[in-house]
Structure 1
């Protein structure tokens, strides 16, 4: 986290943090530090379980616990959510009803293409939009994708960000009108312990590119102007964006 704070301070930019509830319980000082520095934050569930592996009631209880944990620690209202692994899919759209019931106003869980964790290709929009489902509306900041070798893929965060050469990252970013960037603290920690007994493909996805990730991120933040979700929310004219019924 200190690495992330230093990068943001040096670039004089704000960021949005989606926090896992059990991590907040174990390290409440991290939540307080994020809050005291003026960064906004939202729920990333409590146990970081894929949404489609839970029932509606299980999902409600999990997200509710995470929200209460974050609010109790910070004294601030939680209004944002992101699902682990973008795991709200065509089969569990009821998750948006749960989020609305828990007073979430802004979501960033939609992967508008096919992927290993399901995705939601029917969404069809890769820009800030109003998501409508069963009478519920949420402000949606979907992840953006790029067509590469006939496949829509993420390039702006996580393992994808670490694996893609910077010249490609720079080119694709310049060509897109909207980019949703995200990074995990572990993506910037080349000295982290390596988990044994992982498959070769999983090791590749988890550990390749860690040493160059910080340099890549700092250059990216220099070459392009980034804002946090809260700032975007304020400047977007929501009455003019696309409404997507799912």
Structure 2
């Protein structure tokens, strides 16, 4: 089961960087979302693949036409929060207000219920599991925020598995689609989204995808935009992660979607027997 998702945000929505952190800083940068959405739609049309779109509410507010086109093309939209902030830096009420705002914005524009969610940077960690309670309170049914290994933004190694499952926390249950992992000599690798996708040679991407029964992709519009400016304030390692591999990423994604069968979250949910999957108690 290979699932295709896109996290819809601007090229400058880079976390953990002061020069791109808030709305105030965002006004300093040009928008590239429309040209990048055209690239995404071109790829999907060419490969005839359905995808799920996690949209930042601020983006929907700025560009409601973009949300309408996603929905008119038959794709499901979900929340990627409203202001694209790290969840572990927020208090519970702040997070609830932000996600609730994003859901209302997306629903008002699309006329569709928002029932899926992904946290920016997969920033629901061991220390802020209360976020799952908030999502449930807001009507979210399916989550894809669990990064079941360590990472710069924390991750959640205790989750233990990288497969569709039922997440249980304080009496709350959500369908969970965590990010998939691959182990080489005992070390855990991520390869199916963002900078990991761009940095992984296609031969390895193909080999690892064929090996695993479950792959959750997460592609950002900026991952397909070789013409985007370089944010000078980023450290050298962050520049490497943000810009290497952009030149051929569009062709890589097209080949990946051609070599393997992909589906959206809604289709995947229908194919899964949720009574038979593992329940993970956090």
Q: Same fold (TM over 0.5)?
A: yes
Match of 2:272 in 1: 236
SS at match of 2:53: strand
Superposed CA deviations along residues 140-194 of structure 1, whole A, max 9, x for unmatched, are 0000011246432210000000011000111111111100011001110101111
Unaligned runs of 5+ in 2: 1-36
- Partner residue of 1:30 out of 66, 81, 87: 66
> Out of 119, 127, 138, which is 1:83 matched to?
119
For 2:199 and 2:216, how far apart are their aligned partners in 1? 17
* CA RMSD, Structure 1 to Structure 2 (Å): 0.9
- Alignment counterpart, residue 16 of structure 1, candidates 52, 57, 60: 52
Structure 2 CA distance, aligned partners of 1:197 and 1:206? 12
**1:172 equivalenced with 2:208 (yes/no):** yes
Aligned pairs for 1:1-246 (under 5 A) are: 1-148=37-184, 150-246=186-282
Aligned partners of 2:232, 2:150: CA distance in 1, in Å? 30
SS at match of 1:239: coil
Rounded Cα–Cα distance in structure 1 between residues aligned with 2:74 and 2:120: 24
Which blocks of at least 5 consecutive residues in structure 1 are unaligned?
A: none
CA distance in 2, matches of 1:227, 1:13: 6
Hey, which bits of structure 1, 4+ residues long, moved more than 6 A? Answer: none
Cα distance between partner residues in 1 of 2:128 and 2:167: 14
- Paired with 2:245 and 2:186, the residues of 1 have a C-alpha distance of 24
- Point out which structure has higher relative CO (alpha carbons under 8 A, 6+ apart): 2
* Count of residues in Structure 1 that have an aligned counterpart in Structure 2: 246
